[in-house]
Structure 1
Amino acid sequence: MTNAGLPEAVLFDLDGTLFRTETLLETVHRRVFETLREEGLYTSEEPPVERLLGSLGMLLEHIWQRVMPDGSPEAHERANELLLRYEIEELEKGIGELYPGVPETLRKLRERGIRLFVASNGLEQYVKEVPRLRGIADLFEGFYSAGEYATQTKAELVRILLEKHGVRSAWMVGDRSSDVEAGKQNGLFVVGCDYAGFRREGELDGADALIGSFADLEQLIAQRA
């Protein structure tokens, strides 16, 4: 694949890239642990929501190992079910926001003839419902999730996406080390999103470029066109 000029496609992570996940998860996190306590599956003190936000980008099984390491396998499994149910319920109520400039910038990229995809380690329904419920689903050619494709790494998920759609040159845009690794392992130009507030230090090391707001992406592409 080539990094020169205008990319044929741009692949986006979802949480912390397109979607301000903390605007949804603060409510969802509280509801998940209230239900787990009511059902007797988790009796320890509620973990801070920052621990969940800091785990985004991981596979769900690894998220719960980090968020509640003292939780049983049954508690982790139930938390998966509750997380998805409450996320969809709150999204349908209008809770949860895209980052500023996301719809406008995506439309500008489409006008340039660039193919757009989502690649996320999240659950299939969540990865498809966030764009649909926030009015940007029609801008994307496909939605790829670890939940749907049962992939163990973001790099594997991106490889499947590229092969299925015959993409020859692409950019990977995301806010996590898994996005940087996925891009690099597949020979992509990697843009790190330096605006999500719940990253770990050094998360974007190795990215080819950093953007301080989502709208900066269009300018970055224009400079390289």
Structure 2
Amino acid sequence: MADRQLSFPEAVIFDMDGTLFQTETLLTVVHDRLFQQLREEGLYTKETPPVEALLSCLGMLLKDIWFRVIPDGTPEVHQRADELMLELELEEIAASRGNLYPYVPETLKALKDKGIKLFVASNGLQDYVEAIALHRTIDKLFDGLYTAGGRSTATKVELVRILLEEHGIKSAWMVGDRSSDVEAGKGNGLEVIGCGYAAFGKPDELEGSDVIITDFRELLDLLPKQG
């Protein structure tokens, strides 16, 4: 916990993967299906990389992920992997594969009931983020779902800046599990809450956060009592 008191936020901005959504519960299946399909199409001939390689890239822009997971892949392979990733993710999400972290819906509702605006800012694709929110029935709690795919932004700092400007937000918390979330918050003058409960990420991933939580419900405890 931070020594200093956090301010009462006008809005809370959440990352999606590793923050609201327990991504490994979806990607384990998607990962295997994706590489099997690439092999069937003659685009990939090696053994399937470990799913941990993909999970370690979460928070990065999709175009950068494949350079890490399939470093020797051609642009054609990377493009097809992009297409398959979204297609398979949407199929599995619609089939109820993939879980939110514990206490996410009720905590979001409690924040909303206090008059706080809620947003998502993700480096993922718009259709993917919207599908999670819709099929996990948390979509009505958000005032906006912002994605790098939907806004063609090069960094999350830029994405969050656009969100704040469009909604006239002056004070907010940025909540996420990756260094890109810390950068996005600090780069826009926000207080940052790091999520230390994700199963992936580097030990120093959340360095610079004002607070690190290990349970999603702790967000409610961080609200100033006078708020």
Go from structure 1 to structure 2 and tell me whether the alpha carbon gap of 1:38 and 1:17 turns closer, same or farther (over 3 Å shift). Answer: same
Structure-2 residue corresponding to 1:214: 216
CA distance, structure 1, for counterparts of residue 173 and residue 140 of structure 2:
20
Which SS does the other structure have where 2:77 is aligned?
helix
CA distance, structure 2, for counterparts of residue 91 and residue 223 of structure 1:
38
Mapping of residues 193-204 of structure 1, within 5 Å: 193-204=195-206
CA distance, structure 2, for counterparts of residue 169 and residue 101 of structure 1:
24
Amino acid corresponding to residue 47 of structure 2 in structure 1:
E
Query: What is the CA deviation profile of residues 151-191 of structure 1, one whole-angstrom value per residue up to 9, with x for unaligned ones?
Result: 00000000000000000100000000000000000000000
CA distance, structure 2, for counterparts of residue 190 and residue 116 of structure 1:
15
Of residues 168, 171, 178, the one that matches 1:169 is: 171
Query: What is the CA deviation profile of residues 20-62 of structure 1, one whole-angstrom value per residue up to 9, with x for unaligned ones?
Result: 0000000000000000000011112211000100100000011
CA distance, structure 2, for counterparts of residue 222 and residue 137 of structure 1:
26
Structure-2 residue corresponding to 1:130: 132
- Alpha-carbon contact 2:12-2:119 (below 8 Å) kept: yes
Amino acid corresponding to residue 139 of structure 1 in structure 2:
L
Which SS does the other structure have where 1:221 is aligned?
coil
CA distance, structure 1, for counterparts of residue 220 and residue 116 of structure 2:
11
State the superposition RMSD in angstroms. 1.1
Give structure 1 regions of 4+ aligned residues with deviation exceeding 2 angstroms: 222-225
- Tell me, which stretches of 5 or more residues in structure 1 are unaligned? none
Structure-2 residue corresponding to 1:60: 62
Structure-2 residue corresponding to 1:111: 113
- Alpha-carbon contact 2:6-2:223 (below 8 Å) kept: no
- Tell me, which stretches of 5 or more residues in structure 2 are unaligned? none
- Alpha-carbon contact 2:118-2:143 (below 8 Å) kept: yes
CA distance, structure 2, for counterparts of residue 88 and residue 200 of structure 1:
28
Go from structure 1 to structure 2 and tell me whether the alpha carbon gap of 1:171 and 1:224 turns closer, same or farther (over 3 Å shift). Answer: farther
How far does residue 112 in structure 1 lie from its aligned partner after superposition? 0.6
CA distance, structure 1, for counterparts of residue 219 and residue 213 of structure 2:
7
- Alpha-carbon contact 1:21-1:96 (below 8 Å) kept: yes
Q: Percent identity?
A: 60
Alignment length (residue pairs): 223
Please give the TM-score of this superposition, normalised by the length of structure 2.
0.96
Of residues 4, 10, 13, the one that matches 1:11 is: 13
Structure-2 residue corresponding to 1:47: 49
Query: What is the CA deviation profile of residues 5-34 of structure 1, one whole-angstrom value per residue up to 9, with x for unaligned ones?
Result: 310000000000000000000000000000
Structure-2 residue corresponding to 1:185: 187
Which SS does the other structure have where 1:35 is aligned?
helix
How far does residue 200 in structure 1 lie from its aligned partner after superposition? 1.2
Go from structure 1 to structure 2 and tell me whether the alpha carbon gap of 1:84 and 1:62 turns closer, same or farther (over 3 Å shift). Answer: same
